Structure 1
Amino acid sequence: MATETHGAEEGGLVFHPMDQFKIEPAFGDGAIGMFTVTNATVWMALAVVATFALLVLGSSKRAMIPSRMQSVAELAYGFVYKMVEDICGKEGVKYFPYIMTLFMFIVCANFLGLIPTSFTPTSHFAVTVVLALAVFLTVTILGFVKNGAAFLGLFWVSSAPLPLRPVLAIIELISYFVRPVSHSIRLAGNVMAGHAVIKVFAGFAAITVISPVSVVAITAMYGLEVLVSFIQAYVFTILTCVYLKDALHPSH
């Protein structure tokens, strides 16, 4: 604290890139309780509203000559539907509504988080872990419901030599339970890293000498983050489809 104060007094730059990820009450100050409305709550709600507005209100008229919003909604619908059909087959199409909702929530939350002074809920592991665990539990339960004990065939590599199969089964089992960890960290880590880098460049923009370079760097990073926001939603969704395929067809 003394170093930061001394730097500020001498005209130095003091900024904290991770401050943008703090959970704070949305209204007023004070401690955060179980039912406190926070900035994360507000922006997750806005992501839900944006998803509803795009998919429901945007396509409600179903015009022969679609509006821009209807075109985006139809494009998103066709994109995710084809992804589910290609990876999971016709049998997986019945689970399309869940996967579509998951994709749209993540992509809307990511894009809303690019608005200046906004909050990005998908940068928090508390959010992405819940999403990943929901996928993990849904896929696991579905796998046993659809296949019974045959679902355990997912861990038994029948094509491998017999002496190696028990070892591979243990590896496959560990890999399976690591899925929600990697699933959640990949999304939160990439979103958090990009926003932190933008914040660092924005802090240096206050220094006159390097301000032009910093502005160019911010612009480049912002453009990259727009791409990352979509790609991370796509990666999360396509992995969900892969896991769903394993539940529907567990044999190696």
Structure 2
Amino acid sequence: MADEATGGFQIHPMDQFIVKPLFGGDHIAWYTVTNVTLWMALAVVAIAALLIYGTRRRAIVPSRSQSVAEMIYGFIYNMVEDVTGHEGVKYFPYVMTLFLFILLSNLLGLLPMAFTTTSHVAVTVVLALLVFLGVTILGFIKNGVGFLGMFWVSSAPLAIRPVLAIIEVISYFVRPVSHSIRLAGNMMAGHAVVKVIAGFASMAIVSPVVIGAVSALYGLELLVAVVQAYVFTILTCVYLRDAVGGAHH
């Protein structure tokens, strides 16, 4: 926004991502209740409202809230089954929870004065690491040492298999990095651009143009919020397939 106190026109798009304690003070410890904590809790409440409150009066002719809940349920269930196969369906509750948490965190972040928790790498890294560690542990539990077979490209010429194995191992351990940064980067970049453009709204000459541009960007951000939740979830399903399906090369 414009900073009139200094007599100049300044925009600080990154201020919206600052983590602040809710009850005053400057020190932030692991137990401090912050704006991040608040909006993650609101995302959980929104999930409960959608799935519990919204479907409490189930009927053959569904209400709007029931229709939305059933549509999301069916969409994610089909995704898990199509990508991971029948064996992966038993992990559907986790995938569904992950999708809803990311989706509602993204959408809540579009509200005025809200905080987008998924714009912080600290949040997305935890989500990505839970997927990475869970898939890796599950892979060894279900396949034993045979899980390492996914790194050995048996269809390639024998001479280059060791090189491909090294590339596969590196690619595997890079997964949580790309998985988390993709989500956080897209959410942060979009919100920063909206804040920069909205900062020009105080200039009367360009304000109508700015309002139109911000409205269009909000529509784009709404699409990005949904797409990024979908991308994170379908990548989780792809990684889960490696664990429940064993070696795939």
Instruction: Please state how far the C-alpha of 1:8 moved relative to its aligned partner.
Output: 5.1
Between the two proteins, what is the percent identity of the paired residues? 68
Using the TM superposition, name which of 127-136 and 46-55 deviates more.
46-55
Letter aligned with residue 141 of structure 1 = I
Aligned match for 2:137, one of 141, 163, 185 = 141
Q: Tell me by how many angstroms 1:9 deviates.
A: 4.5
Q: Aligned partner of 1:34: which letter?
A: W
Correspondent of 2:226 among 215, 226, 230: 230
- Aligned pair count reads 247
2:241 alignment partner AA: K
For the residues of structure 2 that align with 1:63 and 1:37, how far apart are their CA atoms? Answer: 40
Distance, in Å, in 2 between the alignment partners of 1:34 and 1:50 is 24
User: 1:61 Cα shift?
Assistant: 1.8
Whether the 8 Å contact between 1:8 and 1:14 is mirrored in structure 2 is no
- Look up the match of 2:151: 155
TM-score between the two structures when normalised by the length of structure 2 = 0.96
Paired amino acid for 1:109:
S
Deviations 1:133-173 (A, max 9, x none): 00000000000000001100110000000000000000000
User: Aligned letter for 1:116?
Assistant: P
> Where does the alignment leave 5 or more consecutive residues of structure 2 unmatched?
none
Bigger mean CA offset, 131-140 vs 20-29: 20-29
Q: What is the one-letter code of the residue matched to 2:174? A: V
Letter in 1 for 2:179: H
**Once the two structures are superposed, what CA deviation does each residue of 1:100-129 show, in whole Å capped at 9, x if it has no partner?**
000000000000000000000000000000
Q: In the aligned structure 1, how far is the partner of 2:173 from the partner of 2:72?
A: 30
1:49 deviates by: 0.6
Q: Which runs of 5+ in 1 are unaligned?
A: none
In 2, distance between residues paired with 1:33 and 1:171? 39
Alignment pair present for 1:177 and 2:170: no
Higher mean Cα deviation, 186-195 or 29-38? Answer: 29-38
Residues 101-250 of structure 1 correspond to what in structure 2 (within 5 A)?
101-250=97-246
Matched, 1:100 2:96: yes
Aligned with 2:37 (options 29, 35, 41): 41
User: Is it true that 1:55 corresponds to 2:40 in the alignment?
Assistant: no
Q: Which moved more, 1:16-25 or 1:52-61?
A: 52-61
CA distance change for structure 1 residues 147 and 200 in 2, over 3 Å: closer, same or farther? same
Q: How big is the alpha-carbon RMSD for the aligned residues of Structure 1 and Structure 2?
A: 1.3
Query: Which residue of the partner structure matches residue 29 of structure 1?
Result: 25
Separation (CA, whole Å) in 2 of partners of 1:29 and 1:162: 62
Equivalent of residue 60 in structure 2, options 26, 43, 64: 64
Higher normalized contact order (CA 8 Å, seq sep 6+, divided by chain length): 2
SS of the equivalent of 2:23 reads coil
SS at match of 1:205: helix
For 1:85 and 1:148, locate their aligned partners in 2 and report how far apart those are by CA, in whole Å: 23
Aligned equivalents of 1:231 and 1:83: distance in 2?
14
- Once residues 118 and 106 of structure 1 are traced to their aligned partners in structure 2, the CA distance between those partners, rounded to angstroms, is 15
Give the TM-score normalised by the residue count of structure 1: 0.95
Give the whole-Å Cα distance in 1 for the aligned partners of 2:5 and 2:236: 47
SS of the residue corresponding to residue 27 of structure 2 reads coil
Letter in 2 for 1:103: F
